[in-house]
Amino acid sequence: MSLLDTIKAPKDIKGMSIEELKTLAQEIRDVLITRVTATGGHMAPNLGFVEATLALHYVFDSPKDKFVFDVSHQSYIHKMLTGRKEAFTDPASYTKYSGYTNPNESEHDFFTIGHTSTAVSLASGLAKARDLKGETGNVVAILGDGSLSGGEAMEGLNVSATLGSNFIVLFNDNDMSIAPNEGGLYPHLKELRDSKGKASNNFFKAMGLDYVFIEDGHNLDDLIEVFKAVKDTNHPVVLHVVTVKGKGLPAAEADKESYHYIMGKDFDVDAYMKEDHYDEIIATHLLAKMKADKTVVGLTAGVPGIAGFSAERRAEAGKQFIDVGIAEEHMVAMAAGLAKNGAKPVILDAGTFLQRTYDQLTQDLALNSNPATIISFPLGGGISSMDATHSSAFDMAMMNNIPNLRVLSPATKEELIAMLDWSLEQTDMPVMIRVPGGKVQTYEAGKAFIGTLTNEVTAQGNTVAILGLGAFYDLGLRTKEALQAQLGIEATLVNPRLSSEVDEATLESLKANHSLVVTLEDGVLDGGFGEKVARFYGPTDVKVLTIGMKKEVNDRVPMKELVARYHLSPELIVEDIKAILNK
């Protein structure tokens, strides 16, 4: 029986000797490597946080003492120690719990988290509420060095310095974000590490926080000693803990970026390599554009890999690629400045992370008509089986309704490239291009985009018109075929290309010989494209069927279930059409 087998709750490690804790740390590493290799997940962040998590649970008393993990992608060990270890040790239970903290899973988790840089702010609220209620207990925010580059983390540190009561920030410094850290702060963090916390240039002290340095974040004796010393502190303190990302797995230590998140064993690398992928297509094209025009500049907020910008491509792009750190708001405002001063900025980010920057999109880009291009990547697709925190179902609805921002949804790779080329040359407005989820599609029709911002009727028919937006153009094509086969209806097929506006001329022309218009979109319906079409036809006899996601939280719901629930298949859509047409 292993030591890990004996642990059902944090109290079970409290009686262990340091030697036993060290053995347990090794067991946990072995389990992490086996489990994450099988299922995929955040390998390197967790391997680097084994001893620190053990020491936290050894010294503090969770859940009375509260831990808030930033991003919470490094919370696997915390899960193992808080009654959820079967999700790591038992293959049949591997998918039982999510990869992030979630209060529905455990009383030891306080927030559902997946976006970065929020832990200090969230934890400061917990601490303030504790104080207002006259309660006791420690509050610990766990913040990574990458996440520190996000403005919210800095805002949180600034405010929490004034709490005047117990507040601990465990700053987990492994000198890496997903990719290497960028920005003027990081050489100073290195100075702090190199001087064992003694350098006079101390960001945390400048913020008004007490500061303790722990040189070896894998030394349980040191960690436990310092944690005991700061437990029940009466003021805010930062524990600067130096760790090694990927600790204990040589491949991960050597290639921290690739091992930040890895795919599981079922992922077929060979098949993947044989296929086309939008990130590769975009990165290759953008690099060529950069070479031809020195004012083209790519920007990302800590996620270059999402857009195919590997270390090699970043080096190739040189000064024309900027990783701003995990600072989405800054990225969008900087893009506004770049556009204003004649450069051609291209923002490359995931739709879910762009949610953070609604204000900059609205004010700095759209209101000021600054012509930046935003390429929004849906992680795993718009409607997807992702964690709720990482859903990209909402980016289109968010962007669609910002005046003076055009949202384009290419259906094919040719169209995507044509839209990007057009957007780079126009100077009237910011443009978002929503990368289609799923397999790369290529149709001749997609070549027609010349920046006219009109819908494209790709097949003229009658009775039913199908408007298949972006990734769902293909679903439209298949629905058209199913309609023909099952009801003998020759439907009209439209590639709308644009979701922020309706093309009134095209919609007007459909009135003549169509009684039903079907819209298909890979995102939430509320605020989406279909609603705009429905509003256009509201005062007319034309009926509108909108297919897309209902406004609700979906957390790792299998795609099969979502297809059935939202009728995302040709068969189910034909059933709906039949019912409406009384066929």
Ligand X SMILES: Cc1ncc(C[n+]2csc(CCOP(=O)(O)OP(=O)(O)O)c2C)c(N)n1
Q: Which of 41, 144, 470, 523 binds ligand X (CB under 6 A)?
A: 144
d(CA 490, CA 412): 23
Tokens for 383?
């409607």
In the complex, the smallest distance separating the C-beta of residue 70 from ligand X, rounded to whole angstroms, is 6
Binding to ligand X (CB under 6 A) within 88-127 occurs at 114-116
Binding segment for ligand X (CB under 6 A), chosen from 68-76, 130-138, 365-373, 544-552, is 68-76
| Residue (29 or 260) nearer to ligand X, CB | 260
Q: What residues have CB less than 8 Å from 462, skipping those under 6 apart?
A: 489, 490, 491, 492, 513, 514
Q: H or E stretch including 530?
A: helix 529-537
d(CA 498, CA 431): 10
Q: Is 246 in the site for ligand X (CB under 6 A)?
A: no
| Residue (326 or 510) nearer to ligand X, CB | 326
| Residue (71 or 287) nearer to ligand X, CB | 71
Q: Is 147 in the site for ligand X (CB under 6 A)?
A: yes
**One-letter amino acid for residue 467 of the chain:** L
Q: Is 71 in the site for ligand X (CB under 6 A)?
A: yes
In the complex, the smallest distance separating the C-beta of residue 295 from ligand X, rounded to whole angstroms, is 26
In the complex, the smallest distance separating the C-beta of residue 545 from ligand X, rounded to whole angstroms, is 35
Binding mask 289-318 for ligand X (x = CB under 6 A): ------------xxx---------------
User: What b-and-e string marks burial along 44-78, b requiring 16 or more CB atoms within 10 Å of the CB?
Assistant: bbbbbbbbbbbbbbbbbebeebbbbbbbbbbbbbb
Q: How many residues does the chain have?
A: 583
| Residue (301 or 525) nearer to ligand X, CB | 301
Binding segment for ligand X (CB under 6 A), chosen from 84-92, 145-153, 399-407, 497-505, is 145-153
Gyration radius from the chain CA atoms: 26
Q: Which of 88, 100, 213, 353 binds ligand X (CB under 6 A)?
A: 353
Q: Is 46 in the site for ligand X (CB under 6 A)?
A: no
Binding segment for ligand X (CB under 6 A), chosen from 2-10, 21-29, 70-78, 363-371, is 70-78
Q: Is 171 in the site for ligand X (CB under 6 A)?
A: no
Q: What residues have CB less than 8 Å from 582, skipping those under 6 apart?
A: none
Q: Which residue is nearest to ligand X (CB)?
A: 144
The sign of the torsion formed by the CA atoms of 270, 274, 275, 280 equals positive
Rounded alpha-carbon distances, angstroms, from residue 453 to 385, 433, 449: 31, 12, 8
d(CA 29, CA 87): 14
Q: What residues line the site for ligand X (CB under 6 A)?
A: 45, 70-71, 73-74, 114-116, 144-147, 172, 174, 176-178, 245, 260, 301-303, 326, 353, 356
